[in-house]
Amino acid sequence: MVAFGKKLKERQIQEWQGFYLNYKLMKKRVKQYAQQMEVGTQDRRHVLKDFSRMLDNQIEKTVLFILEQQGQLASRLTNLREQHDALEETPEISQITELREAYRAVGLDLLKLLYFVEMNAIGLRKILKKFDKRFRYRFTDYYVKTRANHPYSQLQQVFKHVGLGAVVGAISRNLHELQDRQGSYLSIYDPPALPLQDPVVDSIKAAVDRLSHSTNFLNFLAQHALIMQEELPAPTDERIDDERYHFMSLLLNLANTFLYMVNTYIIVPTADDYSMSLGAAATVCGIVIGAMAVAQVFSSVYFSAWSNRSYFRPLVFSSIVLFVGNAMYALAYDMNSLTVLILGRLFCGLGSARAVNRRYISDCVPLKIRMQASAGFVSASALGMACGPALAGILQTNFKIYKLTFNANTLPGWVMAVAWLVYLVWLWISFKEPSRDIEEPPASSSETLENGALEEGKQPLLITSEEKQEDDEDPEGDGSEEAPEESRQPATSIVSAYRLLTPSVKVQLLIYFMLKYAMEILLSESSVITTYYFTWSTSTVSIFLACLGLTVLPVNIVVGSYISNMFEDRQILLASEIMVCIGILLSFHMIIPYTIPQYVCSGLIMFVSAEVLEGVNLSLLSRVMSSRLSRGTYNGGLLSTEAGTIARVIADATITLAGYLGESRLLNITLLPSFLICVASIVATCFTYNSLY
- In the chain, the amino acid numbered 55 is L
According to DSSP, the residues that pair with 401 across neighbouring strands are 404
Give pLDDT, residue 148. 62
Report the alpha-carbon distance of residue 241 to residue 77 in Å, rounded.
31
Break the chain into its structural domains and give their ranges: 1-181+196-225, 245-431+500-686
User: What is the per-residue pLDDT for 443?
Assistant: 35
Q: How confident is the model at residue 96 (pLDDT cuts 50, 70, 90)?
A: confident
Which helix (H) or strand (E) segment holds residue 619: the answer is helix 596-624
Domain 245-431+500-686 fold is: Growth Hormone; Chain: A; (1.20.1250)
Higher pLDDT, 8 or 610: 610
| Architecture category of domain 1-181+196-225 in CATH | Up-down Bundle (1.20)
CA distance 642 to 69: 49
The closest of 176, 9, 30 to 100, measured between CA atoms, is 176
> What is the enclosing helix (H) or strand (E) of 400?
strand 399-401
CA 693/CA 688 separation, integer angstroms? 9
Residue 3 near residue 468 (C-beta atoms within 8 A): no
In sequence order, which residues have a C-beta less than 8 Å from that of residue 475 and are 6 or more positions away?
none
Q: Is the peptide bond before 460 cis (omega within 30 degrees of 0)?
A: no
Residue 693 reports pLDDT greater than 60 = no
Amino acid letter, 690: N
pLDDT confidence of residue 442: 38
Cite the DSSP H helix spans in 454-566: 465-473, 494-499, 503-524, 526-534, 538-550, 552-558, 564-566
Least confident window among 339-348, 467-476, 487-496, 668-677: 467-476
Q: What is the DSSP letter of 405?
A: E
Length of the chain: 693
CA neighbor of 404 nearest in space, from 325, 323, 331, 324: 331
Residue range 169-224, pLDDT digits in tens? 777 777 777 765 434 444 444 444 444 556 666 676 666 666 554 334 555 555 55
- pLDDT 10s digits, 447-457: 333 333 323 33
Between CA 656 and CA 670 the distance in angstroms is 10
Question: What is the C-alpha end-to-end distance of the chain, expressed in Å?
Answer: 30
Confidence class for position 16, pLDDT limits 50, 70, 90: confident
| pLDDT > 90: percent of the chain | 31
What pLDDT score was predicted for residue 292?
Answer: 92
Q: Would strands 404-406 and 399-401 be described as parallel, antiparallel, or unpaired?
A: antiparallel
> Which pLDDT band, with edges at 50, 70 and 90, does 10 fall under?
low
CA dihedral 156, 162, 167, 168 (to 10 degrees): 100
Q: Would you place residue 234 in the very low, low, confident or very high pLDDT band (cuts 50, 70, 90)?
A: very low
Burial of 18 (0-12, 13-18, 19+ CB in 10 A): exposed
- Taking the C-alpha atoms of residue 692 and residue 541, their distance in angstroms, rounded to an integer, is 44
Decide: 546 and 266 in contact? Cβ < 8 Å.
no
Element (H, E) at 291: helix 285-306
Bridge partners of residue 405, in order along the sequence? 400
- With 50 as the cut, is the pLDDT of residue 656 above it? yes
Asked whether 351 and 318 are in contact (CB, 8 A), the reply is: yes
Q: Is the pLDDT of residue 606 over 90?
A: yes
User: Of 6-10, 20-24, 35-39, 561-565, which range is least confident?
Assistant: 6-10
Higher pLDDT, 226 or 62: 62
Rounded Cα distance between 270 and 293, Å, is: 18
pLDDT higher than threshold 70 for residue 462: no
Distances (CA, A) of 635 to 89, 301, 580: 61, 10, 28
pLDDT band at 473 (very low <50, low <70, confident <90, very high): very low
The reported pLDDT for the residue numbered 485 is 44
Q: What is the pLDDT of residue 138?
A: 64
% residues pLDDT > 70 (the chain): 73
CA-wise closest residue to 494 among 286, 643, 674:
643
Contacts for 131-137: CB closer than 8 Å, 24+ residues apart: 131/30, 131/51, 133/471, 133/477, 134/30, 134/33, 134/34, 134/477, 135/33, 135/34, 135/37, 135/44, 135/47, 136/692, 136/693, 137/44, 137/48, 137/693
Distance CA 166, CA 392 (A): 53
Cα angle: 413, vertex 312, 225; to 5 degrees: 75
In this predicted structure, what is the pLDDT of residue 460?
35
Three-state DSSP class for 448? strand
pLDDT at 130: 80
Q: Which of 345, 666, 342 is nearest to 528 (CA)?
A: 666
Distances (CA, A) of 423 to 259, 325, 395, 418, 693: 9, 15, 21, 9, 50
Pairwise pLDDT comparison (624 vs 88), residue with the higher score: 88
* Angle in degrees, CA 9, 12, 18, rounded to 5: 90
**Bridge partners, 448 (sequence order):** 229
Of 638, 636, 639, 622, nearest to 463 by C-alpha is 622
Nearest to 244 by CA among 365, 416, 404: 365
In three-state secondary structure terms, 663 is helix
C-alpha 627/C-alpha 443 separation (Å) is: 12
- Contact of 678 with 512, CB cutoff 8 Å: no
SS3 state of residue 463? coil
DSSP letters, 341-385, are: HHHHHHHHHHT--HHHHHHHHHHHS-HHHHHHHHHHHHHHHHHHH
How far, in whole angstroms, is CA 411 from its chain's centroid? 34
509 or 622, greater pLDDT: 509
Reported as a single tens digit per residue, the pLDDT across 397-448 is 889 988 899 999 999 999 999 999 999 999 999 999 887 654 443 333 333 3
Q: What is the mean pLDDT of the chain?
A: 78
Q: Is the pLDDT of residue 89 over 90?
A: no
Residue 84: the pLDDT is 79
- With CA atoms as reference, report the closest residue to 392 among 376, 371, 415: 415
SS3 15: helix
**567-592 pLDDT per residue, tens:** 777 788 899 999 999 999 999 998 88
Residue 294's Cα: distance from chain center in Å? 24
DSSP state for residue 395 in the 8-state scheme: -
How does pLDDT run across 290-339, given as a tens digit for each residue?
999 999 988 888 888 898 889 999 999 999 999 999 999 999 999 999 99
Contact at 8 Å (CB) between 308 and 633?
yes
Mean pLDDT, to the nearest integer, of 63-88?
A: 85
**pLDDT at residue 683 in the model:** 93
Query: Which amino acid does the sequence have at 412?
Result: P
Largest CA-CA distance found in the chain, in angstroms, rounded:
91
Q: Name the DSSP class of 487.
A: G
User: DSSP letter string over 156-193?
Assistant: HHHHT-HHHHHHHHHHHHHHHHHS--TT----TTSSSP
Position with higher pLDDT, 598 vs 185: 598
Q: What is the pLDDT of residue 245?
A: 78
- CA 609 – CA 596 distance, rounded (Å): 20
The 10 Å Cβ neighbour count of residue 236 is 11
